Amino acid sequence: MDRKVISDAHAPNPIGPYNQAVISNGFVFTAGQIAIDPDTGQLVEGDLTSRVEQVFRNLSAILERAGSDLSKVVKFTVFLTDMGRFAEVNKVFNQYLNEDNAPARSTVEVSGLPVGTDVEIECIAAL
């Protein structure tokens, strides 16, 4: 099995024993990203939209380091602490993705996420 670890300074460092992403068999598998600003190491304050936008910036940096980008994502998994905010998340997805070529996606409501945030997103992208 081919396997390459990806790390990018423009995305936050992992807060546990995992990597930002791993390339294997022609795909990039990212770790879940939360709205940590890589410059400050702090969770982005403000509204959910601001946090989802930061997550997309983090994912973009990781994917670019791996040789991919958001247009090549085949699957997103979104974790939310309040499914009632699903429409807010969709608005940000629509800003970053082409609706005609949208990837598969799952959204799951969870009771808690790292550092008290309300959204975490991971993805799988083709190279």
Question: For the residues of 11-78, what is the DSSP string, one character each?
Answer: SPPPSSSS-SEEEETTEEEEPPB-SEETTTTEE--S-HHHHHHHHHHHHHHHHHHHT--GGGEEEEEE
Q: 7 in helix, strand or coil? A: coil
Instruction: Give residue 62's pLDDT.
Output: 98
Global confidence as pTM = 0.96
pLDDT digits 0-9 by tens, 70-125 = 999 999 999 999 999 999 999 999 999 988 889 999 999 999 999 999 999 999 99
Evaluate if residue 2 carries a pLDDT over 80: yes
Instruction: Give residue 100's pLDDT.
Output: 84
pLDDT digits 0-9 by tens, 41-57 = 999 999 999 999 999 99
Q: 97 in helix, strand or coil? A: coil
Residue 116 burial by CB count (10 A; 0-12/13-18/19+): exposed, middle or buried?
A: exposed
Strand ordering across the sheet containing 104-109:
4-6, 21-24, 27-30, 119-126, 73-80, 104-109
Instruction: Give residue 22's pLDDT.
Output: 98
Average pLDDT, the chain: 96
Evaluate if residue 1 carries a pLDDT over 80: no
Domain 4-126 part of CATH 3.40.50.10470: no
Instruction: Give residue 10's pLDDT.
Output: 94
**C-alpha–C-alpha distance, residues 76 and 79, integer Å:** 10
**C-alpha–C-alpha distance, residues 57 and 33, integer Å:** 10
Instruction: Give residue 79's pLDDT.
Output: 98
Instruction: Give residue 15's pLDDT.
Output: 86
